[in-house]
Structure 1
Amino acid sequence: MEGEAVTTSSSAQVIPLHRDGGGPGRGQAPRPDRDAPVVLFPGGSAGTGPAAEQDRLGRLLTFLAHRLTGDFTVDEFGFDPELTETVVLPPLRLLYDRWFRVETHGVENLPLDGGALLVCNHSGVLPLDSVMTALAVHDNHPYHRHLRMLGADLVFKTPLLGTLARKSGQTLACAPDAERLLGAGELVGVWPEGFKGVGKPFSSRYRLQRFGRGGFVSAALRTGVPIVPVSIVGAEEIYPKLGDLKPLARLLGLPYFPVTPFFPLLGPLGAVPLPTKWHIEFGEPLPTDAYDPEAHEDPMLVFNLTDQVREAIQQMLYRRLSQRRSVFKG
């Protein structure tokens, strides 16, 4: 199934996907240096005081002017970079910086430009881990690249959420969309555990679930992009899932209806995530460009690569957990 672009005003421009997904020059991102300059980007948290506030207000007014005149662009999937950076990312940074206090590791393993497939573990009842990973990539990459996330069809069937997901760069988790994005030089994020991972019970935390049939490996092999394993520690504990009200889930058309120590007991208050300390680590890339063009048709190779990526993420999780002193302090 192909991605559908979100319709904008008649004046808005639809731009093709760019093969150059980042800054000039290929390679991996350099290791951050203590003396590196602070880069301000739209909606960013860097900078305080009247000057910074005035700058943010100016950016917001510019954004509103572009909305009124239709002077903005979306790509063929409906991705709206200006809306994402001005409206979507700023509130997420409050969670990222102040609530979860996310620390990132291994940013140098992200390519400066060109396509790459980021494969991540999934957890937390609600998929906050995916949006936090996208924000980690954008705010820590030298060129502030956007992570194009592959989402379940439930996301795009949900009113308002589906439209917002499209506008912020997400698309359906299917091979054609993934390959088009990767072939265009984009960073693509996938969570192959799906609902089995994000909705698993608290007793199974940090134990990776089945990675499906390896569709993500086939997409990487077809396009010759590296696979970057990503581990996320801290998301498992934001909503400790103790049970599942399956009849209610079926009634609402949901994969599960979680019972946590606070939800549904405390109502809306129970939906507030616990302020756990997060660590997002980007592992060593696994290159795929050395394989034959028909390699994606070899089921044994796909299985072995899938298992290799899964094992790499599991070991990253175990290593990070062994270093963690506290769920809330890191």
Structure 2
Amino acid sequence: MADADVIPFDADDRAQQTAQESPPKASTSSTTTRDRGAIPGIPISDWKAAIESGAREVLGSDWEGKLAHALAFMRRRLEGDYTVDEFGFDAELTERLLLAMLRPVAEKWFRIEVRGLENIPADGGALVVSNHSGTVPVDALMTMFEVHDRTGRFLRPLGADLVFRLPMVAPIARRLGATLACQADAERMLTSGELVAVWPEGFKGIGKPFSERYKLQRFGRGGFVSAALRTGVPIVPLSVVGAEEIYPIVGNLPSLARLLNIPYIPITPFFPLLGPLGMVPLPSKWLLEFGEPIRTDAYDAVEAEDPMLVFNLTDQVRETIQQTLFTLLLERESVFR
């Protein structure tokens, strides 16, 4: 190779090349957590602020007070520091738990409109008599909620024998104010000034097919009228529109129902086809109208034994409810609106 082709290479260039080709030496000094800064995460103060914001959003500005009341309620339940009446009714549990749970269903799902609240006595005994529908007694629960929410009075339902034969349902029904639909219990509650409700159609009403919707079934033998006559309390007719459409019954399984010793096993357009999802009620629009009270205090208690009087009053109540149902159906714009 000629001398002219030789590229000059001095000591500084050699040192620079060596530094580029050699890997860097590991540092002998150690790095601590303090040198790196705090461990990444959400500070406790931020967690607290987020929880408070969520509680305020759900419970309102007075969320601390409501939470304190809820904790006190739970403590009393655990310690057994609560009272029930002679029928097993637990007013605090009903108001704080059941009725609170029903509020969004009544207001947002069924959008219940109530009329004739002035016909419910502010105090003293009275007997509310209503049509019955809906495949399961959702109408009873909604009526209980609306009466208490709008008047402050607890509605004490009279339930069928089956309700008190079911292992888990019976104690819950008792705690919520229900008692057996018999004259003895009805008269005891009416005499003590309770607002009592009865659905004389029974299972014939809630289990009837969709093709017979809003056609009242037989009102039994008028036992509720006899109880009202003996106690001298007014009878308040109640007409409920909307419950017929929540579970439209298109069929039944009578053989299986007899095997299970229950009145019926309904088949709806969505149950049992969709399984548990088919048990979600349809969001129909509800109308509740309390009619003018039918007074019974003008009669003597012994007249409760007069079958013609009992029949005539029973028929009067039934016809009042039926005619009001027809009127409400004409006024309703749509099933779901």
Code of the residue aligned with 1:296 in structure 2: it is A
Code of the residue aligned with 2:240 in structure 1: it is I
**Does residue 59 of structure 2 align to residue 58 of structure 1?**
no
- Structure 2 counterparts to residues 189-268 of structure 1, below 5 A: 189-268=197-276
**Does residue 165 of structure 2 align to residue 165 of structure 1?**
no
What's the secondary structure of 1:75's corresponding residue? coil
User: Taking structure 1 as reference, are residues 266 and 49 closer, same or farther at Cα in structure 2, changes over 3 Å only?
Assistant: closer
Pick aligned residue for 2:284 from 276, 282, 287: 276
CA distance, structure 2, for counterparts of residue 128 and residue 268 of structure 1:
17
Return the offset for 1:89: 1.2
What's the secondary structure of 2:282's corresponding residue? coil
CA distance, structure 1, for counterparts of residue 63 and residue 328 of structure 2:
37
Return the offset for 1:260: 0.6
What's the secondary structure of 2:61's corresponding residue? helix
- Structure 2 counterparts to residues 1-330 of structure 1, below 5 A: 50-141=60-151, 144-329=152-337
1:242-266 superposed Cα distances (whole Å, 9 cap, x missing partner): 0111111112211001011001111
Largest Rg, 1 or 2 = 2
1:105-150 superposed Cα distances (whole Å, 9 cap, x missing partner): 1111100100000000000101100010011100011xx1100000
Return the offset for 1:68: 2.6
Return the offset for 1:154: 0.8
TM-score, structure 1 length as denominator?
0.83
What's the secondary structure of 2:240's corresponding residue? strand
Code of the residue aligned with 2:158 in structure 1: it is L
Partner of 1:27: none
CA distance, structure 2, for counterparts of residue 246 and residue 106 of structure 1:
39
Poorly superposed stretches of 4+, deviation over 6 Å = none
Code of the residue aligned with 2:195 in structure 1: it is L
Code of the residue aligned with 2:261 in structure 1: it is G
| Conservation of the 8 A alpha-carbon contact between 2:252 and 2:264 | yes
Code of the residue aligned with 1:59 in structure 2: it is H
How many residues were matched structurally? Answer: 281
Return the offset for 1:289: 0.2
CA distance, structure 2, for counterparts of residue 103 and residue 59 of structure 1:
30
CA distance, structure 1, for counterparts of residue 60 and residue 114 of structure 2:
29
- Return 5+ residue gaps in structure 2 as ranges: 1-56
Return the offset for 1:306: 0.0
TM-score, structure 2 length as denominator?
0.82
CA distance, structure 1, for counterparts of residue 227 and residue 64 of structure 2:
44
Return the offset for 1:49: 5.3
User: Taking structure 1 as reference, are residues 82 and 49 closer, same or farther at Cα in structure 2, changes over 3 Å only?
Assistant: closer
Deviates more, 1:153-162 or 1:101-110: 153-162
1:169-215 superposed Cα distances (whole Å, 9 cap, x missing partner): 00010000000000000000000000000100000000000000000
| Conservation of the 8 A alpha-carbon contact between 2:59 and 2:66 | no
CA distance, structure 1, for counterparts of residue 65 and residue 262 of structure 2:
42
